[in-house]
Amino acid sequence: MNIIKVMDDLLSNKIAAGEVVERPASIVKELVENSIDADSTIIEIALEEAGLMKIRVTDNGKGMSSVDAVQSFERHATSKIMNEHDLFRIRTLGFRGEALASIASVTKINLWTSDGETTGTEVHIEGGHLISHKSAALRKGTDITVSQLFYNTPARLKYMKTIQTELGHTIGLVNRLALSHPEIAFKLTHYSQTILQTSGSGDQLRVFSDIYGIGLAKKMISFEGSNADYKVSGYVSLPEQTRASRNYITLMVNGRWVKSYAIDRAILDAFHTYLPIGRLPIAIVNIVGDPILTDVNVHPSKQQIRMSKEGELLSLIQEAIGQAIRQNVIVPSAVKKE
């Protein structure tokens, strides 16, 4: 007897949502990454109940045509890659074409979008079902509201932590997105209260100052270096400004916030014996290299990355930061015995 069947899209979207849509912050990440990929220069994120009730992301990017506005919610639908060749040269933050389909399967969505060429479009989707699709007079850009997260997956909803914890995750994420794109003006609000606002001036240290305060920003030292494949640059704190957690280390590869224990280690090694035991520096590390050297297709959340010539990259980071520290740390001269 033949008993195997291919799942319908709605079911497979819900399964994929388990990986992509872990908590409100993961939805904010996917929506804002889409706004960044659409070449927006202004992105606003408005939350209610830490995003569990409502997440609204407004951008002034490319927008979508009426057909694309509906197509964007289809599984594996993307404008970012077309073939295998593209998969190994990814320059955009998204490429899997599954975020909107997954998010739509576990929430209610209202999308307003316009590509500035044709009439704008308004789309309403609930639990993956298209409820309405009509034209609307809109300015170029996209405005998407995701509400009632996990309303049809109660087990996932129960798993959510407190409002403060969920909000903390989202703030940490938006801080990183703003740091990785200082040329974009970001605004994050919770019930209309502004949590973060950046100017979009392109100055990364200014974004750092918007997040951590001008006092700390003034104490950061810059570093840079390059080898045949990679360019690295950024800011690190001096050894007297350390923290007890890795959360203050932000790594960016070609404008994507990533996590890497190996790179964290290289930063720590650069500080050598200057760091007190159990303390970590504050660091912003930008890595730029040909996309062919990096593989982001490791996990649906796209936060892990595999890098070619990693050994050389780690030495480069360690050397560049090490040099900056040696130039800035005043080593007390040994007390001379007469």
Residues that bind Mg ion (CB under 5 A): 34, 94, 99
Q: What's the min distance (Å) between Cβ of 46 and ligand ADP?
A: 15
Residue 270 contact, options ligand ADP, Mg ion, none, Cβ 5-8 Å cut-off depending on partner type:
none
Q: d(Cα 203, Cα 29) in Å, to the nearest integer?
A: 22
Q: d(Cα 36, Cα 244) in Å, to the nearest integer?
A: 32
Residue 42 contact, options ligand ADP, Mg ion, none, Cβ 5-8 Å cut-off depending on partner type:
none
Instruction: Give the nearer residue to ligand ADP in terms of CB position, either 18 or 276.
Output: 18
Q: d(Cα 268, Cα 182) in Å, to the nearest integer?
A: 25
DSSP E strand boundaries for the chain: 42-48, 54-59, 108-114, 120-126, 129-136, 141-147, 185-190, 193-197, 220-226, 230-237, 242-243, 249-253, 256-258, 280-281, 283-289, 294-295, 306-307
Q: What's the min distance (Å) between Cβ of 193 and Mg ion?
A: 27
Instruction: Give the nearer residue to ligand ADP in terms of CB position, either 30 or 210.
Output: 30
Q: What's the min distance (Å) between Cβ of 211 and ligand ADP?
A: 24
| Site residues, ligand ADP (CB under 6 A) | 30, 34-35, 38, 59, 61-64, 72, 77-80, 94-100, 142
DSSP string, 183-234: TSEEEEEETTEEEEE----S-HHHHHHHHH-HHHHHTEEEEEEE-SSEEEEE
For residue 138, give the amino acid letter: L
| Residues 103/21, Cβ–Cβ less than 8 Å | yes
Residue 80 contact, options ligand ADP, Mg ion, none, Cβ 5-8 Å cut-off depending on partner type:
ligand ADP
Q: Which two tokens stand for residue 123?
A: 């789309």
Residue 142 contact, options Mg ion, ligand ADP, none, Cβ 5-8 Å cut-off depending on partner type:
ligand ADP
Instruction: Give the nearer residue to ligand ADP in terms of CB position, either 95 or 271.
Output: 95
Residue whose token pair is 């999308």: 111
Instruction: Give the nearer residue to ligand ADP in terms of CB position, either 85 or 337.
Output: 85
Instruction: Give the nearer residue to ligand ADP in terms of CB position, either 64 or 267.
Output: 64
Instruction: Give the nearer residue to ligand ADP in terms of CB position, either 35 or 170.
Output: 35
Q: What's the min distance (Å) between Cβ of 78 and Mg ion?
A: 8
